[in-house]
Amino acid sequence: MLNLLTILRNVALVLGVLAIVANRLHSGEISVAVASNFGNTIRALVAEYQASSEDEIKLILGSTGKLYAQILHGAPFDVFLAADEQRPKLLEEESITISDTRFTYAIGRLVLWSKRSDLVDSKGSVLEAGDFRFLSIAHPKLAPYGQAAKEVLMKMDLWEALAPKLVFGENVGQAFHFISSGNAELGLIAHSQILQPGSLTEGGSRWLVPSNLHSPIEQQAVQLSEKPESRRFLAFLKNEPALKIIREYGYDTP
């Protein structure tokens, strides 16, 4: 019995020391939960940020809905970069965020894209001609880019007519993959996805959808922890040169 107590005490001691060491090692590290459409952009941003900062940024990529549910149930993220304004707002209403930290960091643009160089014209009239079997979009209920795609098709009065040709990706990344694998001829996806350097998107044909055809895809950020690193990183996102990188990756900036 006495032995057991000694062992327990020693274990507790070791754990305590480890915790202190781990804490030291990890000071200056924050976890940033990022909507997957912003993945490549955030990597470029983090590289830029770390050129002038000691702070470590750990990225967690996922769909906005999933990340939202995880944060709601206590996931230890410090910053949340969502693909919409709805989830950050909901978190704010639940008082999970640091108040007055919500802002729009990027405004998404839709593009109609095909791997075939002769399919998409500069006005998107291929949608009216309907000369294709599958049009890939993200699920309107799950993904802001899917919702925007639906709005575009409704505005063009094609939603009903094209319904039998629609295939839905669970997120805009999957919608992109349906096209890039050649299974869908074309699709409405995020402009940032086909601007990624070294991707499979060279060649092909595209139509950058005018932003007045859908309500703006405002991607919002919120701060979730009081850590100064979180505040510093968000401040970085609001300024040039971060905004310049964001624009280079196909987003508008506020």
The conformational region for residue 174 under phi > 0 = left, psi -120 to 50 = alpha, else beta, is alpha
Answer whether 119's CB lies under 8 Å from 155's CB: no
Binding mask 112-151 for another protein (x = CB under 8 A): ---------------------xx-x--x-xx---------
Tokens of 38: 């912003």
The per-residue DSSP string of 81-92 comes to E-SSSHHHHHHH
Query: By C-beta, is 66 or 238 nearer to another protein?
Result: 66
Among residue numbers 157 through 176, which ones bind another protein (CB under 8 A)?
A: 166-170, 174
Query: Of 19-27, 119-127, 180-188, 222-230, which part binds another protein (CB under 8 A)?
Result: 180-188
Taking the least distance from each CB to another protein, the nearer of 24 and 73 is 73
Q: Is position 181 an interface residue for another protein (rule: CB under 8 A)? A: yes
Q: Which of 35, 111, 112, 184 binds another protein (CB under 8 A)?
A: 184
Q: Nearest distance from residue 145's CB to another protein, in Å? A: 14
Distance between CA 132 and CA 113 in Å, rounded?
A: 13
- Rule CB under 8 A: choose which of 182, 202, 226, 239 binds another protein: 182
Out of 43, 66, 89, 231, which residue is the one contacting another protein (CB under 8 A)? Answer: 66
Quote the least distance from Cβ 122 to another protein, whole Å.
Answer: 25
88 sits near another protein (criterion: CB under 8 A): no
Shortest Å, Cβ 49 to another protein: 30
Nearer to another protein, 39 or 254 (CB): 39
Which class for 206: exposed (0-12), middle (13-18), buried (19 or more C-beta within 10 A)? buried
Q: Which two tokens stand for residue 140?
A: 């309107």
CA-closest candidate to residue 60, choices 49, 76, 44: 76
Pick 113 or 233: Cβ nearer another protein = 113
If binding is defined by CB under 8 A, does position 41 make contact with another protein? no
The token duo for 247 is 């624009």
* Residue placing its CB nearer to another protein in the complex, 80 or 249: 80
Q: Looking at 31, 40, 63, 97, which residue binds another protein (CB under 8 A)?
A: 63
The helix or strand, by DSSP H or E, that contains position 5, with its residue range, turns out to be: helix 2-26
Instruction: Enumerate residues 6+ apart whose C-beta is below 8 A from 213.
Output: 151, 152, 155, 156
> 29 forms bridges with which residues in the sheet?
56
User: If you ran DSSP here, which 8-state letter would residue 98 be given?
Assistant: P
Residue 177 near another protein by CB under 8 A: yes
CA distance 3 to 242: 58
Under the rule (CB under 8 A), what is the footprint of another protein? Answer: 63, 65-66, 69, 133-134, 136, 139, 141-142, 166-170, 174, 177-178, 181-184
